[in-house]
């Protein structure tokens, strides 16, 4: 049985994929969970899929790239739970297109979905997180750490959020707020069938994946572990850490050759 006030979390991108599975796990641990996403129908079915408990699940419809929507989402969770202990930034979209073939409007949209959602949700949540010494976890990607053909803009957005969070961690450490970044490789989620090309159209059939596709459940377990254990950085798979070090030590020569062969045609 829980005592004291309920812990509370806001999950951006909570209506699908990783965000939904993280929400499911945290709801199961007794958190009041705010789910933030733009599409109302998907949001409501996500709430239904989690059991529909109105006192513990808060539908926060809104665009996390909009400061006012983020402020409203944070207020809604605080209204229900009395405070906010955690923020998980899962909102995002995927783009697979060479830089030269990416329209500027699509590039900006991808930056909005993958970077500005993180910036604005963090800014909105930070005062409440400071009040409770809370934790936040932002979801990046391996493409945010290493250039990959076809992932220039997506990788830029994911790298930008790493830079944001790495600095923020130092800035808020004195307030007892933890900042973590989870950077997975490809994992199995609805996003895989919504990958955009440079004109913003969905690529059909979905592009082949040159590496292992990780199970969604594994990703969600890792994300929750990182949040609760206050892990600073986590990659999936873990063995990329030494590969990144090797890549750095060899000036990227071997890595470039390997990645170009894996992502042929891009």
Ligand X SMILES: NC(=O)c1ccc[n+]([C@@H]2O[C@H](COP(=O)([O-])OP(=O)(O)OC[C@H]3O[C@@H](n4cnc5c(N)ncnc54)[C@H](OP(=O)(O)O)[C@@H]3O)[C@@H](O)[C@H]2O)c1
Hey, how many other C-beta atoms are within 10 angstroms of the C-beta on 148? Answer: 21
Query: What is residue 62's three-state secondary structure?
Result: coil
Cβ-count burial 167-206 (b if 16+ within 10 Å, e if not): ebbeebeeeebbbbbbbbbbbebebeeebbbbeeeebeee
Q: Verify binding: residue 37, ligand X, rule CB under 6 A.
A: yes
What is the rounded distance in angstroms from the CA atom of residue 179 to the CA atom of residue 137? Answer: 6
- The secondary structure of 125-168 as a DSSP string is HHHHHHHHT-EEEEE--GGGTS--TT-HHHHHHHHHHHHHHHHH
Q: Verify binding: residue 31, ligand X, rule CB under 6 A.
A: no
- Check: CB of residue 8 under 8 Å from CB of residue 79: no
Q: Verify binding: residue 148, ligand X, rule CB under 6 A.
A: no
Q: Verify binding: residue 90, ligand X, rule CB under 6 A.
A: yes
Q: Which range binds ligand X by CB under 6 A, 57-65, 125-133, 173-181, 250-258?
A: 57-65
Among 8, 65, 156, 226, binds ligand X (CB under 6 A): 65
Q: Verify binding: residue 87, ligand X, rule CB under 6 A.
A: no
In the bound state with ligand X, the residue whose beta carbon lies nearer, of 6 and 221, is 221
Token pair for residue 63? 């665009």
CB of 250 to ligand X, least distance (A): 25
Q: Verify binding: residue 136, ligand X, rule CB under 6 A.
A: no
Q: Verify binding: residue 159, ligand X, rule CB under 6 A.
A: no
CB of 133 to ligand X, least distance (A): 26
Number of residues that bind ligand X (CB under 6 A): 33
Contacts to ligand X by CB under 6 A? 12-13, 15-19, 36-39, 42, 63-65, 90-94, 113-114, 117, 139, 141, 184, 186-187, 189-192, 194
């Amino acid at each position: 049985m829980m005592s004291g006030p309920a812990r509370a979390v806001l999950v951006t991108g909570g209506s699908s994929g990783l965000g939904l599975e993280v929400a499911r796990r945290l709801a199961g641990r007794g958190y009041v969970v705010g789910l933030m996403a733009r599409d109302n129908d998907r949001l409501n079915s996500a709430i239904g899929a989690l059991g529909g408990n109105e006192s513990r699940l808060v539908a926060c419809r809104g665009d996390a790239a909009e400061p006012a929507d983020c402020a409203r989402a944070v207020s809604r969770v605080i209204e229900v739970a009395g405070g906010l202990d955690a923020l998980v930034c899962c909102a995002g979209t995927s783009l697979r297109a060479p830089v030269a073939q990416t329209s500027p409007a699509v590039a900006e949209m991808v930056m909005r979905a993958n970077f500005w959602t993180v910036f604005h949700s963090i800014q909105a949540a930070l005062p409440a997180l400071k009040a409770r010494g809370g934790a936040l976890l932002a979801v990046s990607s391996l493409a945010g750490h290493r250039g990959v053909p076809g992932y220039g803009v997506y990788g830029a957005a994911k790298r930008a959020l790493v830079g944001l969070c790495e600095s923020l961690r130092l800035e808020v450490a004195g307030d007892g707020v933890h900042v973590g970044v989870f950077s997975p490789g490809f994992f199995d989620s609805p996003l895989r069938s919504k990958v955009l090309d440079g004109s913003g159209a969905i690529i059909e059939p979905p592009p082949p994946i040159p590496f292992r596709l990780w199970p969604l459940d594994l990703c969600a377990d890792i994300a929750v572990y990182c949040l609760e254990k206050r892990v600073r950085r986590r990659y999936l798979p873990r063995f990329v850490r030494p590969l990144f070090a090797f890549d750095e030590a060899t000036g990227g020569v071997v890595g470039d050759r390997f990645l170009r062969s894996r992502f042929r045609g891009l």
